[in-house]
Structure 1
Amino acid sequence: MTVLPRRIGGCALVLSLSASAVWADADDYRFDLDSTDHQVGSGAVIELLLTDLRSGQPVADAVIYATRMDMAPDGMATMTSPVTAMPTEAPGRYRFATDITMAGGWRFSLAAKIQGEPETVKAEIELRAEP
């Protein structure tokens, strides 16, 4: 709180200014994967739902600026596959296309900025690919 004393005529006037912004923590948001089981092949679609855990509501219009698909769960973090953002069909849903080149454990990592929030929301989601 900032207090600014002012004199007007013979009286003292005290103005009290209070600025408080309420921001959520990055932990107040969560990405959930629709399905953790996928088939090996090109053009696999990964669909995520971003939820505000405080309200339970989906979060639309997040800016996803970092994505990575790799096989870190199977000890092969250098085995990567490109990720391409796809159009979304519903608020809070985010879709990506990738090539799952071999069976095993895959990790999908992403970072997102949410309008009005200072912190970056990050997620690492594991999924399995079957032949």
Structure 2
Amino acid sequence: MSFITPVIAISGLWAATLASNPAAYAAARDYRFELVGKPTVSAGRNIVQVRLVHVPDGKPVPDAVIFESKADMGPSGMATMPAPVKPMPAKGGVYSFEVAPGMTGTWALHLSAKVQGEPETVTGTVNADLVK
């Protein structure tokens, strides 16, 4: 028996496992963040709501852990202008963020999340029109 035979057997086993359960091997690119409605304003702060969606089946991901959120005016050509972002409690698969923009305009909300069972970090950006 040569060394190549076990390698081929292991490769075949891995391919069979992948084929039998493709959802278990999803990639971060299989997810996207979507804006939920228009932002609302409360006490000078904009509340931006987003949903994380598993693209292949269109289902929302209610139990992701969003560990990074940043806002900037990149869509308006001012990517170096940040705004404070405060995560709020998630409700029913909708993730909310309080953003205090320095000026009215289109802002980018950059998000990073971990999804249960997904080894890669899911990242994405949603654009929202915010008011000061």
TM-score scaled by length of structure 2:
0.75
Partner of 1:103: 104
Give me the identity figure in percent.
38
Whether 1:120 and 2:115 are equivalent positions in the alignment is no
Following TM superposition, the consecutive aligned residue runs of length 4 or more in structure 1 with deviations greater than 6 angstroms are: none
8 Å CA contact 1:42–1:101 kept in 2: the answer is: no
* One-letter amino acid of the counterpart of residue 115, structure 2: I
What displacement does 1:35 show? 3.0
What displacement does 1:39 show? 5.5
Partner of 1:67: 69
8 Å CA contact 2:69–2:87 kept in 1: the answer is: no
Relative to 1, partners in 2 of residues 1:38 and 1:95: Cα closer, same or farther, differing over 3 Å? closer
What displacement does 1:30 show? 1.5
What displacement does 1:124 show? 1.4
3-state SS in 2 of match to 1:115: coil
Higher helix share: 2
* One-letter amino acid of the counterpart of residue 83, structure 2: S
Partner of 2:13: 18
3-state SS in 1 of match to 2:62: coil
Partner of 2:31: 29
C-alpha separation in 1, matches of 2:39 and 2:59: 25
TM-score scaled by length of structure 1:
0.75
Q: Structure 2: which 5+ runs fail to align?
A: 7-11, 19-23
Task: Please identify the structure whose Cα radius of gyration is greater.
Answer: 1
* One-letter amino acid of the counterpart of residue 104, structure 1: G
C-alpha separation in 1, matches of 2:104 and 2:90: 27
Q: How many residues are matched?
A: 120
Q: CA RMSD in A?
A: 2.8
Higher strand share: 1
